[in-house]
Amino acid sequence: MRRVKPKRSRGSAPRRASTKAKHRTRKRSMAIRRLKPLLLPALSLAALASVAYGGYWTWSSGWIQRQAELAYLRTLQWTADLGLAVREVYVSGRAETAQSSLLGALDVRIGNPILAVDVDQAQQRIEQLGWVARATVERRFPATLHISLQERRAAAIWQRKGSFVLVDIDGVVIGTEGLERFDHLKVIVGEDAPQRTRDLLRVLSAAPGLAERVDAAVWVGDRRWNMRLNNGIDVRLPEQDPTAAWARLAELDSTHGILDKDIRAIDLRLPDRLVVRMNDGAAEKSPINTKLRGNDT
């Protein structure tokens, strides 16, 4: 007999295809369920990275700073509109400082918001002016700036590199402003002469009458003074106790009129003698030459 294979049912193939589809769907669902715990942190990190980048770009581009500055300026202008604006600048203690120099250092215009004035920086700029030793700048609401000055006192004229500048008693350089009004001051010469101004004036004060005859004082070798008198005589003072030597010269001049003789230089560096250099041909003319003359050093 011939064996006959049973025929397949027409609905069997679709049922098998449907089963495979369901199996694939279940696998995708399971994969999605496994990925869900990872998706949320990943999305959060992406969002944070986006925000961080946007913040970095905003900051690095200067947008935030510009907006903050703009808001600040608008606020200051609002306060000025309310009356908190500079209308007057009052100065006390000014005698030598030029008004134009002072206002230039203050760097404030009438109508500027008074709250915008940085009083500390203004004070520092004003104290850079030669005549100003100390300064204070205050706001006096609603509309006044008050400047108080303590000025330096010119003590000498320092000659350096062919020019002249005023210095105070501590050797601080004041500058050339007002120089023409201080031609009565002593001229000092030498690299470190300004720092010795106080000592020089102390020496000169030992004989005020003689000091009036001094045109210039030269600081020599960073250790002692030479005085140039108004009649051309050079007086060499010692390193040690120049005040006593200066007083001794004043006494000799009062007694003998030595400074009225035909003398070129007087050396007081030796404590027990006076060395005098006469002008050429003057030794025979003055009877005091033999008594006072010594070997020149």
The 10 Å Cβ neighbour count of residue 213 is 17
Q: How far is CA 85 from CA 62, 73, 103, 115, in A?
A: 29, 13, 17, 8
CA separation for the pair 277, 112 (Å, rounded): 68
Q: Please, what is the angle between helix 197-204 and helix 242-256, to 10°?
A: 30
Q: What residues have CB less than 8 Å from 158, skipping those under 6 apart?
A: 164, 165, 166, 167, 173, 187, 188, 189, 193, 194
pLDDT for residue 290: 31
Residue that the structure tokens 């109508």 belong to: 111
Per-residue pLDDT at 161: 86
Backbone angles phi, psi at 292, to 5 degrees: -100, -15
Q: Give the Cα separation of 64 and 251 in Å (integer).
A: 79
| pLDDT at position 29 | 56
Sheet holding 224-229, edge to edge: 173-175, 163-168, 154-160, 187-189, 214-220, 224-229, 234-236, 263-267, 275-278
With tokens 């003398």, the residue in question is 263
Each of the 297 residues of the chain gets a pLDDT tens digit; together they read: 444 344 444 544 444 555 655 556 565 555 545 545 554 555 455 555 554 555 555 556 666 677 667 666 677 677 667 878 899 999 999 999 999 999 999 999 999 889 889 999 999 999 999 999 999 999 999 999 999 999 999 999 999 988 999 999 999 999 999 899 999 999 999 999 999 999 999 999 999 999 999 999 999 999 999 999 999 999 999 999 999 999 999 999 999 999 999 999 999 999 888 899 998 765 554 444 334 333 333
**Smallest Cα–Cα separation from 145: which of 172, 110, 169?**
110
83-151: CATH topology is Ubiquitin-like (UB roll) (3.10.20)
Query: What's the whole-model pTM score?
Result: 0.70
pLDDT of amino acid 277: 92
Q: Which CATH number fits domain 154-292: 3.40.50.11690, 3.40.720.10, 3.60.15.10, 3.40.50.880?
A: 3.40.50.11690
Sheet containing 144-151: order of strands:
88-92, 144-151, 132-140
Pairing of strands 275-278, 132-140: unpaired
